[in-house]
Amino acid sequence: MPTSEDYKGQIPAWCPGCGNYNILSTIKNALVELGIEPWEVLVVSGIGQAGKLPHYIKCHTFNGLHGRTLPVATAAKLANHSLNIIAVAGDGDCYGEGGNHFLHAIRRNSNISLFVHNNQVYGLTKGQASPTTAEGTHTIIQPYGVLQEPLNPLSMAISQNCSFVARGFAGDQEYLKDLMKAAITHKGFALLDILQPCVTFNKINTFKWYKDRVYKLGNDYDPSNQVKAFEKSLEWGDKIPNGIFYKHEKEIYEEGVPAIQENPLVRQKFSIEEVKYEIEKFY
Amino acid sequence: MGVKFLEYTLRIGGEAGQGLQTIGGALAKVFSRIGYHVFTHQDYMSRIRGGHNFYQIRFSDQKISASREILDILLALDLNTIEIHRKSINDGGFILYDSEITKRKFEEPEFIDIPFRKIALDVGKNSVMANTVATGAALGMLGIGLEALKNILRETFERKGNEIVKNNIACAEAGYNYAVKNCPRCEAFGIHEPEYKKFMLITGLQAIGMGAIMSGCKFYSAYPMSPSTGIMEYFASRAEEYNLVVEQTEDEIAAINMAIGASFTGVRAMTGTAGGGFALMVEGLSLTGMTETPLVIAEMQRPGPATGLPTRTEQGDLLFILHAGHGEFPRVIFEPGTPEQAFYLTNKAFELAEKYQIPVFIQSDQYLAESEWTFENFDLDNLIYNDYRVREKDLEGIEVYKRYKYSSTGISLLAIPGEAGKHLVVADSDEHDQEGHIIEDSETRIKMVQKRLLKKLPLIKKEIEAPLLYGDPSPKIVLVGHGSTYGVIKEVVDTSFKDKKVAMVHFSQIYPLSERDRFDYIELFENADLTICIENNASGQFAKLIRAETGFEFSHQISKYDGRPFTIENLKEELHAYI
């Protein structure tokens, strides 16, 4: 069985007190508790503070381009569906630069998890508004306040019938771990949006701000109802619900691709001899 | 016609949606199956219905590799076709048409009025079969190929049931017989079925697709864009048979990142697009450079800028492809001149991409992509397949696998994540250390640039074959081409300027340029009186590349940038200005 020591990676280069540290240790704990070995998991990330995360875990890593996490993760799953694949992104990374990929990843329903470190601000580029920054927030680029309404990733995902939609909070690691485990073991595309305080650039949405507002969806909440889930996802402000908003199983993408029904693509042997007869079709 | 061998050109014209491709495709297949060499090219508008399109077939008992302007037979499916192409008819040529469709009757001797639609209704009980009647009629004029056509109709309509097959065959026969009966002068064609020898008939796109499948490519991701879409269609049509994954992505950015993701995970992968789509892929191209992920990219050029002429041809993206991508990393660019070259160069592209862990381009254009050529065979024994990926057993004895380990060649072991035992594979778009983790120090940076770029470059250059010299071995006049102009330049060399010492130098492995120790083409250029660089673009991009890399400047430049390919006649005319 793996231990959290097996997952010890590079020393993080995040600001002291960053919400990412909690997310990092929670991912490791979730993987350890699920009994997944480091060589059985591929973490794909983009660019941003969240994008650095796989370097701090010891596992297969593809740290690609800003916004392009999901295409790489989707294809990696098609190439080898026996790997556990977690896509890690930030709010700018996934909902801004990679917004189109996000929509289409929901449609594909690949059996991968997407963890979005949502700190409602741009960290790596130093404090500009992100797609989830609250309207009216003042930044160096938006000195008169952000004019757009923030994007609601949960509503968006639920409206598109995403197979698993959840929200966690970096300040409640036990619950976050449960949500991560549920996302990783869910069969289908699983979005876990993680409220992550940025201690340097977001002075509004602090640990305390979230702690005063977040609450867990209780046992009486039914995550199988899409309309109710959508309604719940609109709740934001004095009370911010956390938990699994919406969950249902349907055919995953990899089940529909004939080429990989018997073996992962990567293990399929190739020899020229077996395809030579193709040329006969041109006579 | 001024040629000693038998050859005819047939043009089928009409509106989009009238079935030009069905007729043209069937006729080309008939000719190739009864033993004629065939060259076809398509000229069509970016619309699904209406407008004016044509499909041109040249066939001969000799090898041919380009299109002509002069027509022997025009098969007109509408009045517009007659008006546009009538002037191109050769002496003794014919125009087949249906006066019921054109609503106008022509009395001149070259016109043969055949009631395509009426015969289709009478014999096939369906006016849709007018195209089959027309195909039969064209063959009837020539007096060849009815049996071959019947077989093709059987293959085409088999899945639609016996009734449809039977009616189509009846329509083909009726069209054939009508033409025989009503065109006594057609005997002047004097055609016979040649000594039976089947040729394969293949387009550039199909050759690229088949080359990829025979190279072990298992993953193709793309966004539809003319004229590259045919590669994806080919892959999709073979997916179930060869266990291929074909992914139509949300955009070209996803297309290249998916191909990279599949390649990183151990599968040979490819993407394809045209210039505008490639513009979106450029960031991903740079990612292959930094992560050293093998990738083959097909860029099928069409005239730009922006949307340009979507269904037409140009060689306008060469310098774009050469310079695309931020930062410095190695790349290879192939630009085949024939489907046969496209097939082998695609195979070589996969070999070099994986051997050196670099991006390799198959650059072509609409003209080669969609032209059909005949070949006796491709020698499949010349294909290369080396699996450079390493797995658990290959890593025995290695304590810690490092994805970017320094080496004398710059090449590090390419392990497959999940198939390498407990070894971990870490790839990074940031500058990284040997294990693949982010670094910023200058010492590591320098070593990594040396590893992935400077050490690999001379090795890659050695892999590149010299350009082809065709014609006089010590020419006074050199016609220089690259990519799809091969066929037309070759035929001009074959048939013109016989009293001059003329040769073609054709480049299909265009970047990096080959080393000159085996064939010093620059010396050959310098010893000639005239060096004419012929390009299907406005600014002479290949000439610029040669000048930049070697300092040599061609004495003349012929540029064609009307969105159409060179034909034999118009290239000769251009050359007469200099020769």
Contact B67, B22 (CB under 8 A): no
Helix (H, G, I), strand (E, B) or coil at B44: coil
Closest chain B residue to the Cα of A65, Cα to Cα: B429
Contact A84, A36 (CB under 8 A): yes
pLDDT at B240 over 50: yes
pLDDT at B1 over 60: no
Q: Residue B359 corresponds to which tokens in the numbers above?
A: 């991006």
Closest chain B residue to the Cα of A268, Cα to Cα: B243
- B388 membership: H or E segment, kind and range: none
Q: Pick from A52, A72, A278: which is nearest to B257 by CB?
A: A72
Residues 163-182 of A with CB under 8 A from B: none
pLDDT at B3 over 90: no
Residue type, A9: G
Q: Any chain B CB within 8 A of the CB of A261? A: no
User: Once rounded to an integer, what is the mean pLDDT over residues A99-124?
Assistant: 97
Residue A109: per-residue pLDDT: 98
Which residues in chain B are closer than 8 Å to A283, comparing Cβ atoms? Answer: 32-33, 198-201
Contact A183, A247 (CB under 8 A): no
Q: Any chain B CB within 8 A of the CB of A81? A: no
Chain A / chain B CB contacts < 8 angstroms? 195
Contact A23, A57 (CB under 8 A): no
- The highest-level CATH class for domain B468-576 is alpha beta
Q: Is A109 left (phi over 0), alpha (psi -120 to 50) or beta?
A: left
Helix (H, G, I), strand (E, B) or coil at B470: strand
pLDDT at B183 over 90: no
Question: Using one digit for the tens of pLDDT, what is the confidence trace for A58-82?
Answer: 999 999 999 999 999 999 999 999 9
Least confident of B186-200, B226-240, B275-289: B186-200
pLDDT at A9 over 60: yes
Residue type, B426: V
CB within 8 Å of B232: residues ≥ 6 apart = B220, B222, B224, B246, B248, B272
CB within 8 Å of B173: residues ≥ 6 apart = B136, B146
Short-list B139, B133, B87, CA closest to B108? B87
- CATH 3.40.50.920 positions along chain B are 468-576
Residue B186: per-residue pLDDT: 85
Q: Pick from B265, B291, B426: which is nearest to A80 by CB?
A: B265
CB within 8 Å of A192: residues ≥ 6 apart = A113, A114, A115, A116, A166, A167, A168, A179, A180, A183
CB within 8 Å of B429: residues ≥ 6 apart = A47, A63, A64, A65, B287, B290, B291
Short-list B468, B390, B405, CA closest to B436? B405
Short-list A243, A254, A247, A264, CA closest to A109? A254
Residue B185: per-residue pLDDT: 85
pLDDT at B94 over 70: yes
Residue A267: per-residue pLDDT: 98
Please judge whether B269 and A75 are an interchain contact, meaning their C-beta atoms are less than 8 angstroms apart: yes
CB within 8 Å of B19: residues ≥ 6 apart = B77, B131
Q: Pick from A13, A37, A61: which is nearest to B427 by CB?
A: A61
Strand order in the sheet with B468-471: B468-471, B502-507, B477-482, B530-535, B556-559
Please judge whether B265 and A76 are an interchain contact, meaning their C-beta atoms are less than 8 angstroms apart: yes
Q: Pick from B257, B268, B418: which is nearest to A80 by CB?
A: B418
Helix (H, G, I), strand (E, B) or coil at B384: coil
Residue type, B112: I
Which residues in chain B are closer than 8 Å to A96, comparing Cβ atoms? Answer: none
Please judge whether B243 and A278 are an interchain contact, meaning their C-beta atoms are less than 8 angstroms apart: no
Residue B193: per-residue pLDDT: 80
Is A186 exposed, middle or buried, given 0-12, 13-18 or 19+ CB atoms closer than 10 A?
buried
CB within 8 Å of B125: residues ≥ 6 apart = B167
Please judge whether A74 and B261 are an interchain contact, meaning their C-beta atoms are less than 8 angstroms apart: yes
Which residues in chain A are closer than 8 Å to B221, comparing Cβ atoms? Answer: 75
Q: Pick from A47, A62, A82: which is nearest to B264 by CB?
A: A62
Which residues in chain A are closer than 8 Å to B214, comparing Cβ atoms? Answer: 272, 275-276, 278
What is the distance in angstroms between the Cα of B244 and the nearest Cα belonging to chain A?
6
- CATH 3.40.50.970 positions along chain B are 202-380
Q: Which of A62, A74, A77 would best serve as a mutation to test chain B binding (most B beta carbons within 10 A)? A: A62
- B460 membership: H or E segment, kind and range: helix B456-462
**What is the C-alpha separation between B325 and B399, in angstroms, rounded?**
35
Which residues in chain B are closer than 8 Å to A266, comparing Cβ atoms? Answer: 265-267, 416, 418-419
Residue B189: per-residue pLDDT: 84
- The highest-level CATH class for domain B7-198 is alpha beta
How far is C-alpha B219 from the geometric centre of its chain's CA atoms? 20
What is the distance in angstroms between the Cα of A66 and the nearest Cα belonging to chain B?
10
Q: Residue B156 corresponds to which tokens in the numbers above?
A: 């085409």
User: Once rounded to an integer, what is the mean pLDDT over residues B81-89?
Assistant: 96
Q: Any chain B CB within 8 A of the CB of A234? A: no
Q: Pick from B210, B218, B420: which is nearest to A265 by CB?
A: B218
**What is the C-alpha separation between A239 and B512, in angstroms, rounded?**
62
Residue B2: per-residue pLDDT: 37
**What is the C-alpha separation between B154 and B357, in angstroms, rounded?**
46
Q: Pick from B218, B238, B418: which is nearest to A83 by CB?
A: B418
Q: Residue B200 corresponds to which tokens in the numbers above?
A: 């394969």
Residue B490: per-residue pLDDT: 98
The terminus-to-terminus CA distance of chain A in angstroms comes to 57
**What is the C-alpha separation between B570 and B274, in angstroms, rounded?**
26
Short-list A158, A170, A166, CA closest to A195? A170
Least confident of A92-101, A119-128, A255-264, B215-224: A119-128
What is the distance in angstroms between the Cα of B210 and the nearest Cα belonging to chain A?
8
Question: Using one digit for the tens of pLDDT, what is the confidence trace for A228-271?
Answer: 999 999 999 999 999 999 999 999 999 999 999 999 999 999 99
Q: Pick from A38, A71, A260: which is nearest to B249 by CB?
A: A71
Please judge whether B417 and A83 are an interchain contact, meaning their C-beta atoms are less than 8 angstroms apart: yes
Which residues in chain B are closer than 8 Å to A259, comparing Cβ atoms? Answer: 218, 239-240, 243-245
Contact A10, A78 (CB under 8 A): no
Please judge whether A60 and B417 are an interchain contact, meaning their C-beta atoms are less than 8 angstroms apart: yes
Least confident of A179-188, B14-23, B212-221, B445-454: B14-23
Name the DSSP class of B463: T
User: Once rounded to an integer, what is the mean pLDDT over residues B317-338?
Assistant: 98
Closest chain B residue to the Cα of A108, Cα to Cα: B249
Contact A15, A202 (CB under 8 A): no
What string of DSSP letters covers B85-131? HGGGEEEEEEEEE-HHHHS----STTEEE--HHHHIIIIISSGGGHH
Please judge whether B213 and A275 are an interchain contact, meaning their C-beta atoms are less than 8 angstroms apart: yes
Half-sphere exposure for A105 (CA within 13 Å, toward CB): 34
**What is the C-alpha separation between A59 and B422, in angstroms, rounded?**
10
pLDDT at B4 over 80: no
User: Once rounded to an integer, what is the mean pLDDT over residues B72-85?
Assistant: 96
Q: Which of B257, B264, B288, B414 would best serve as a mutation to test chain A binding (most A beta carbons within 10 A)? A: B257
Name the DSSP class of A188: S
Closest chain A residue to the Cα of B203, Cα to Cα: A282
User: Once rounded to an integer, what is the mean pLDDT over residues A274-279?
Assistant: 97
**What is the C-alpha separation between A279 and B339, in angstroms, rounded?**
13
Contact B284, B291 (CB under 8 A): no
Helix axes B252-264, A69-79, angle to 10 degrees: 50
**What is the C-alpha separation between B10 and B94, in angstroms, rounded?**
10
Please judge whether B427 and A58 are an interchain contact, meaning their C-beta atoms are less than 8 angstroms apart: no
Q: Pick from A13, A72, A260: which is nearest to B261 by CB?
A: A72
Q: Any chain B CB within 8 A of the CB of A270? A: yes
Give residue limits of the domains in chain A.
Answer: 4-253
Q: Which of B258, B372, B402, B432 would best serve as a mutation to test chain A binding (most A beta carbons within 10 A)? A: B258
Fold for A4-253, please state it: Rossmann fold (3.40.50)
What is the distance in angstroms between the Cα of A94 and the nearest Cα belonging to chain B?
13
Q: Any chain B CB within 8 A of the CB of A265? A: yes
B392 falls in which pLDDT band (50, 70, 90)?
Answer: very high
Residue B286: per-residue pLDDT: 98
**What is the C-alpha separation between A103 and A71, in angstroms, rounded?**
11
Which residues in chain A are closer than 8 Å to B265, comparing Cβ atoms? Answer: 42, 75-76, 79-80, 83, 266
User: Once rounded to an integer, what is the mean pLDDT over residues B524-550?
Assistant: 98
Give the percent of chain B with pLDDT over 90. 94
Residues 98-157 of A with CB under 8 A from B: 100-101, 103-104
Which CATH code fits B202-380? 3.40.50.970
Helix (H, G, I), strand (E, B) or coil at A194: strand
Short-list A150, A73, A87, CA closest to A119? A150
Closest chain B residue to the Cα of A280, Cα to Cα: B200
Helix (H, G, I), strand (E, B) or coil at A9: coil
**What is the C-alpha separation between A224 and A248, in angstroms, rounded?**
6
